[in-house]
């Protein structure tokens, strides 16, 4: 590995975000924001479309193209591989130019799969941010059936059996593009396991609680970083202080990978309850207001919204779920893709949430899950007390840097 130019100089850390969803922007941004400027020089590379979420000086921001978010979402929806080999080749070329420009001591990537190739070619230490439920060392190796175009028309048990039979071949197809690009550069295959493809790095950092997602057999270079909480920068909307506090508040967001249609279905199901609903569309157009007890904005301070909520309703993804768990609020996850379902599996097992499938959704199921959450005793649970006792993110990341000799 390439040593720093001077042992006395600040170590240079380059964060690379693959901005297909806001989660992959927010986690690097949160780590960058917590760096000790006296010891580290932090840079971040991100698609220009997400520049507004990165609070760093312009000279430390480097624009780099990511896969189009809509293309990514459509491929997920269809169950197709999310990257083609040609796209990864373009990313490798861009990565190498980026690394040559910044000359980092460490590259930290979030879903930038091309770094599996480019960081090794550049001989720079590479850490990837992932989730523990994607680890090759996760105790539960089973994978849930995602929502696909055909799943709503087949009985769920039968659909899961069909998926289980097709899974080895299907997942191997998701690994083919990166393995092909690695082979072109003389790097070995990562095999047909998508978990290995998603977590290949010199150091793999899992942005999850070890209590929720334990990895008892993981090697030393696979470690829990712990939850990474992040909210979009900016002030709350003007109506923030006008939401009444004489009834329970429901925080609703489908995230950047959700749909405005799903958001409206949930609002329609809950608007008749004696609750106040505060919601974020993650930048999508706001639905036409036809509800008296609903307040919506493009973006909300998610941690503050979860803290004032009695229940959080989201797409089941880890960023919003972690905000809820951090303040002891139960989660109702309305899941479509495998990532969301794997995350909610851990929360449900710990008694911290309810998981619903987007292809089996009814107003009655939504209301029942939220009403159960309103009556849940989550805040004082033993599981939650253990999960909530973690050092600040900056301290956890510094421990990692110290551990690999960059402290």
pLDDT tens for each residue of 219-230: 999 999 999 999
CATH number where 17 lies? 3.40.50.2000
With respect to residue 233, please indicate whether it lies within any of the assigned structural domains.
Answer: no
Q: What pLDDT score was predicted for residue 5?
A: 43
Pairing state of beta strands 106-110 and 331-335?
unpaired
With respect to residue 266, please indicate whether it lies within any of the assigned structural domains.
Answer: yes
| pLDDT class of 200 with cuts at 50, 70, 90 | very high
Q: Are residues 222 and 256 in the same domain?
A: no
The beta-carbon contacts of 238-243 under 8 Å, at least 24 apart in sequence, are 239/295, 239/297, 242/295, 243/276, 243/278, 243/295, 243/308
Residue-averaged pLDDT of the chain: 92
Q: Are residues 24 and 85 in the same domain?
A: yes
| pLDDT class of 369 with cuts at 50, 70, 90 | very high
With respect to residue 1, please indicate whether it lies within any of the assigned structural domains.
Answer: no
Q: Tell me, what DSSP letter sits at residue 217?
A: T
**pLDDT of 146 higher than 50:** yes
Q: If you average pLDDT over residues 336-359, what whole number do you get?
A: 95
Q: Tell me, what DSSP letter sits at residue 289?
A: P
Q: Are residues 188 and 159 in the same domain?
A: yes
In whole angstroms, give the CA distance from residue 215 to residue 192: 21
Q: Are residues 185 and 134 in the same domain?
A: yes
Q: Are residues 215 and 270 in the same domain?
A: no
Question: Which helix (H) or strand (E) covers residue 13, if one does?
Answer: strand 11-17
| pLDDT class of 368 with cuts at 50, 70, 90 | very high
With respect to residue 274, please indicate whether it lies within any of the assigned structural domains.
Answer: yes
| pLDDT class of 259 with cuts at 50, 70, 90 | low
Rg (CA), the chain: 21
Is residue 257 within 8 Å of residue 21, measured between CB atoms?
yes
**pLDDT of 384 higher than 70:** no
With respect to residue 164, please indicate whether it lies within any of the assigned structural domains.
Answer: yes
| pLDDT class of 136 with cuts at 50, 70, 90 | very high
Q: Are residues 209 and 167 in the same domain?
A: yes
Q: If you average pLDDT over residues 208-215, what whole number do you get?
A: 95
* φ and ψ at residue 361, rounded to 5 degrees: -85, 135
The Cβ of residue 372 has, within 10 Å, a number of other Cβ atoms equal to 13
Q: Are residues 223 and 296 in the same domain?
A: no
In whole angstroms, give the CA distance from residue 201 to residue 241: 45
In whole angstroms, give the CA distance from residue 304 to residue 322: 13
Q: Are residues 164 and 218 in the same domain?
A: yes
Q: Are residues 248 and 181 in the same domain?
A: no
What ranges make up the beta strands (E) of 195-344? 203-206, 222-224, 249-253, 276-280, 294-297, 311-314, 331-335
* φ and ψ at residue 62, rounded to 5 degrees: -120, 120
Helices (H) and strands (E) in the chain, counts: 13, 13
**pLDDT of 3 higher than 90:** no
Q: Are residues 250 and 125 in the same domain?
A: no
Is residue 278 within 8 Å of residue 250, measured between CB atoms?
yes
Q: Are residues 148 and 18 in the same domain?
A: yes
The beta-carbon contacts of 67-71 under 8 Å, at least 24 apart in sequence, are 67/18, 67/20, 69/19, 69/20, 69/21, 69/256
In whole angstroms, give the CA distance from residue 184 to residue 119: 15
Domain that residue 298 falls in: 238-388
With respect to residue 87, please indicate whether it lies within any of the assigned structural domains.
Answer: yes
In whole angstroms, give the CA distance from residue 205 to residue 131: 8
With respect to residue 5, please indicate whether it lies within any of the assigned structural domains.
Answer: no
Q: How many domains does the chain have?
A: 2
With respect to residue 52, please indicate whether it lies within any of the assigned structural domains.
Answer: yes
Q: Are residues 47 and 167 in the same domain?
A: yes
pLDDT digits (tens, 9 = 90+) for 53-75: 998 888 999 999 999 999 999 99
């Amino acid at each position: 590995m390439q040593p720093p130019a001077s042992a006395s100089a600040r170590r240079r850390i380059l964060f690379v975000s693959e901005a297909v969803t806001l989660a992959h922007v927010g986690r690097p941004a949160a780590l960058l924001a917590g760096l000790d400027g006296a010891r580290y020089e932090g840079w971040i590379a991100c698609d220009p479309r997400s520049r507004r979420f990165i609070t760093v000086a312009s000279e430390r921001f480097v624009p780099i193209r990511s896969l189009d978010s809509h293309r990514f979402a459509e491929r997920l929806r269809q169950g197709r591989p999310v990257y083609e080999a040609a796209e990864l080749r373009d990313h490798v070329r861009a990565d190498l130019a980026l690394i040559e420009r910044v000359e980092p001591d460490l590259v930290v990537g979030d879903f930038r799969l091309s770094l599996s190739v480019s960081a090794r070619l550049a001989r720079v230490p590479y850490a990837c941010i992932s989730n523990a439920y994607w680890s090759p060392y996760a105790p539960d190796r089973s994978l849930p059936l995602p929502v696909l175009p055909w799943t709503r028309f087949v009985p769920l048990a039968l659909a899961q059996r069909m998926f289980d039979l097709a899974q080895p071949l299907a997942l191997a197809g998701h690994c083919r593009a990166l393995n092909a690009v690695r082979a072109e550069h003389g790097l070995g295959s990562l095999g047909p396991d998508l978990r290995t493809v998603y977590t290949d790095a010199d150091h793999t950092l899992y942005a999850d609680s070890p209590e929720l997602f334990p990895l008892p057999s993981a090697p030393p270079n696979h470690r829990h970083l712990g939850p990474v909480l992040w909210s979009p920068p900016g002030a709350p909307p003007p109506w923030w202080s006008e939401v009444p506090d004489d009834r329970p508040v429901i925080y609703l967001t489908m995230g950047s990978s959700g749909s405005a249609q799903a958001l409206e279905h949930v609002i329609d199901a809950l608007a008749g309850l004696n609750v106040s609903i505060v919601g974020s569309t993650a930048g999508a157009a706001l639905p036409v207001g036809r509800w008296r007890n609903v307040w919506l904005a493009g973006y909300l301070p998610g941690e503050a919204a979860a803290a004032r909520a009695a229940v959080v309703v989201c797409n089941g993804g880890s960023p919003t779920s972690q905000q809820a768990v951090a303040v002891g609020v139960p989660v109702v996850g309305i899941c479509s893709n495998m990532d969301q379902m794997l995350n909610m599996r851990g929360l449900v097992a710990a008694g911290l949430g309810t998981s619903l499938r987007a292809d089996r959704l009814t107003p009655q199921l939504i209301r029942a899950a939220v009403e159960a959450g309103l009556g849940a005793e989550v805040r004082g649970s033993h599981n939650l007390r253990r999960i909530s006792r973690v050092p600040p993110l900056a301290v956890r990341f510094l421990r990692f840097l110290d551990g690999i000799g960059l402290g």
